[in-house]
């Protein structure tokens, strides 16, 4: 008995083991027994496109030093603070519990969990504001933005749009993302020719670790959520592109903290994403869920199409003029149709969700 007692005492960071177990399921070697744990690397799994862990246990976690690294991930390396790992792959609660324990350690600061978004713009990037007006090739990109996408000069300059003529991102528009210090933390590279595949090329970093163009966000004002960077350019009023189907880490935390009025502004075909997001917001807004709105766009066109037809001002009017909807209205009917439950308006199934 004595031996076991002594043994357990030697495991530093034992309080983190339950959280790690929670995040990675029961598939962690060394839980409760060692400071050095092994589990399957979720980053490797993502890269290989596997629907299940790869069974290789390449991810090592040290609960005494509160660090992790994957032995296989290289370029980019996947390593950092344990808090960062939990922040990326755990739930919001997992990370909150982690912080409450980690704060007991004198050397812990939340900043250690923020590191590692080392994104630089492609070295070939030329900002539109620096383009050579005598160079017809440069004008190709300018024309794409101004004539094809109907993005105004002001917006082009405000968001510091650029392009690449050569390199990995050749013939692409670069939409940089700036953090609150004005540093680049991400970019989206879109082909100017729709036939080019893939249409978008983005850096391989975890999207939960930053908010696209957070430097432009005013949390005291209504925040609009849209899907991608070009939708943001279509509706550039305190708009955050979620860059996917979920509200992830950093954005989730900030919304939870500030609880701004929020408008979900997704394309008409994105009902599934919209309901996902609605439920995510619902879970953090507590008794302030009336701050969450969903806007039905005035037609079946997506934001970009609307703006191309109506121009910037026309589009903003159309959006403001659109009825603001609570979730039990048009949206629910559409969702029911979307899920093939149009009989009886499908009311029963959704009222269940919202009360539960
Ligand atoms: Zn890995």
Tens digits of per-residue pLDDT, 45-55? Answer: 888 888 889 99
> How far lies 19's CA from each of 7, 74, 80, 93, 167, in Å?
20, 26, 17, 10, 43
b/e per residue 125-161 (b: at least 16 CB within 10 A): bbebeebeeeeeebeebbebbeeebbbeeebbeebbb
Banded pLDDT at 110 (limits 50, 70, 90): confident
What distance in angstroms lies between residue 81's CA and the mean position of ligand 1's atoms? 15
The answer to whether 154 and 165 have CB atoms below 8 angstroms apart is no
State the distance from the centre of ligand 1 to the C-alpha of 69, rounded, in angstroms: 8
| Distance from the alpha carbon of residue 42 to the mean position of ligand 1, in angstroms | 7
Q: What is the pLDDT of residue 299?
A: 59
Mean pLDDT of 246-268: 86
Cα gap 12→4, rounded to integer Å: 15
How far away, in angstroms, is 55 Cα from ligand 1 center?
11
Q: How far is the CA of 85 from the centre of ligand 1 (A)?
A: 12
**What whole-number distance in Å separates Cα of residue 150 and Cα of residue 147?**
5
**59-74 per-position pLDDT tens digit:** 999 999 999 999 999 8
At 331 the pLDDT is: 52
Task: Give the Cα-Cα-Cα angle 133, 136, 140 (nearest 5 degrees).
Answer: 100
State the distance from the centre of ligand 1 to the C-alpha of 333, rounded, in angstroms: 43
Give residue 254 CA to ligand 1 midpoint distance, Å. Answer: 28
Rounded to the nearest angstrom, the distance between the alpha carbon of 191 and the centre of ligand 1 is 30
**Residue 229: is it exposed, middle or buried by C-beta count within 10 angstroms (0-12/13-18/19+)?**
buried
Q: What is the mean pLDDT of residues 195-219?
A: 87
Q: What six digits make up the tokens of 44?
A: 């490797």
* Statement: residue 264 has pLDDT above 80: yes
Q: pLDDT digit string (tens) for 130-163?
A: 999 899 999 999 999 999 988 989 999 999 999 9
pTM exceeding 0.85: no
Cα 351 to Cα 253: distance, rounded to the nearest angstrom = 27
Centre of ligand 1 to C-alpha 74, Å, is 8
Residue 41 CA to ligand 1 center (angstroms) comes to 5
Going from the Cα of 309 to the center of ligand 1, the distance in angstroms, rounded, reads: 46
CA distance 319 to 143: 26
Residue 201 pLDDT > 80, yes or no?
yes
Give the integer Cα–Cα distance in Å for 174 and 283. 35
More confident residue, 307 or 93: 93
- Going from the Cα of 247 to the center of ligand 1, the distance in angstroms, rounded, reads 23
Task: Please state the rounded mean pLDDT for residues 73-89.
Answer: 86
* 70 Cα: distance to centroid of ligand 1 (angstroms): 5
Lowest-confidence segment of 153-157, 305-309, 348-352 by average pLDDT: 348-352
Helix, strand, coil abundance in the chain, percent, nearest 5: 45, 15, 40
- Separation of 77 CA from ligand 1 center, angstroms? 8
Integer CA distances (angstroms), 25 to 28, 39, 52, in order: 7, 10, 12
Least confident of 17-21, 108-112, 237-241, 316-320: 316-320
* Spacing, Cα 228 to ligand 1 middle (Å): 27
Q: How far is CA 246 from the centre of its chain?
A: 7
Instruction: Tell me the longest C-alpha to C-alpha distance in the chain.
Output: 83
Does residue 282 contact residue 356 with C-beta atoms inside 8 Å? no
CA distances from 133 to 8, 143, 172, 217, 241 (A): 70, 12, 18, 32, 31
Q: What is the pLDDT of residue 187?
A: 94
Residue 324's Cβ-count burial label (10 Å; 0-12, 13-18, 19+) is exposed
User: pLDDT tier at 301 (50, 70, 90 boundaries)?
Assistant: low
What's the chain's average pLDDT? 82
Q: Calculate mean pLDDT across residues 246-267.
A: 87
Is residue 273 very low, low, confident or very high in pLDDT (cuts 50, 70, 90)? Answer: confident
Task: Find the 204 Cα to ligand 1 centroid distance in Å.
Answer: 13
Residue 95 has a pLDDT of 92
Q: Are 54 and 48 in contact (CB under 8 A)?
A: yes
> What is the pLDDT at residue 237?
85
3-state secondary structure of 52: coil
pLDDT band at 205 (very low <50, low <70, confident <90, very high): confident
CA of 29 relative to ligand 1 center, distance in Å: 16
pLDDT, average across residues 89-112: 86
CA of 2 to the centre of ligand 1 (A): 38
Q: Give the length of the chain.
A: 356
Å from CA of 210 to ligand 1 middle? 21
Tell me which of 49-63, 97-111, 310-324 is least confident: 310-324
């Amino acid at each position: 008995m004595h031996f076991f007692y002594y043994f357990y005492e030697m495991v530093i960071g034992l309080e983190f083991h339950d959280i790690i177990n929670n995040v990675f399921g029961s598939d962690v070697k060394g839980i409760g027994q060692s400071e050095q744990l092994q589990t399957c690397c979720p980053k490797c799994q993502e890269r290989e496109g596997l629907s299940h862990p790869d069974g290789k246990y390449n991810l090592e976690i040290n609960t005494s030093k509160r660090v992790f690294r994957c032995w296989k991930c290289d370029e980019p390396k996947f390593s950092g603070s344990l808090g960062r790992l939990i922040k990326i792959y755990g739930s919001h609660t997992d990370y909150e519990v982690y912080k409450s324990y980690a704060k007991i350690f004198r050397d812990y600061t939340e900043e250690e969990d923020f590191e590692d978004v080392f994104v630089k713009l492609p070295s070939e990037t030329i900002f539109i504001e620096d383009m050579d007006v005598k160079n017809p090739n440069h004008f190709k990109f300018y024309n794409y933005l101004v004539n094809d996408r109907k993005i105004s000069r002001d917006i082009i300059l405000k968001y510091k749009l650029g392009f690449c003529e050569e390199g990995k991102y050749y013939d692409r528009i670069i939409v940089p993302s700036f953090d609150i210090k004005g540093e680049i933390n991400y970019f989206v590279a879109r082909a100017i020719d729709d036939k080019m595949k893939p249409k978008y090329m983005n850096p391989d970093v975890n999207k939960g670790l930053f908010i696209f163009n957070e430097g432009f966000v005013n949390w005291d004002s209504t925040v609009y959520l849209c899907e991608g960077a070009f939708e943001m350019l279509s509706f550039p009023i305190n708009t955050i592109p979620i860059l996917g189907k979920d509200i992830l880490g950093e954005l989730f935390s900030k919304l939870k903290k500030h609880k701004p009025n929020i408008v979900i502004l997704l394309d008409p075909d994105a009902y599934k994403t919209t309901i996902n997001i609605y439920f995510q917001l619902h879970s953090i807004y507590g008794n302030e869920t009336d701050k969450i709105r969903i806007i039905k766009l005035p037609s079946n066109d997506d934001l970009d199409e609307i703006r191309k037809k109506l121009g910037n001002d026309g589009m903003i009017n159309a959006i403001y003029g659109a009825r603001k909807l609570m979730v039990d209205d048009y949206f629910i009917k559409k969702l029911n149709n979307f899920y093939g439950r149009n009989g009886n308006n499908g009311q029963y199934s959704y009222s269940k969700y919202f009360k539960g």
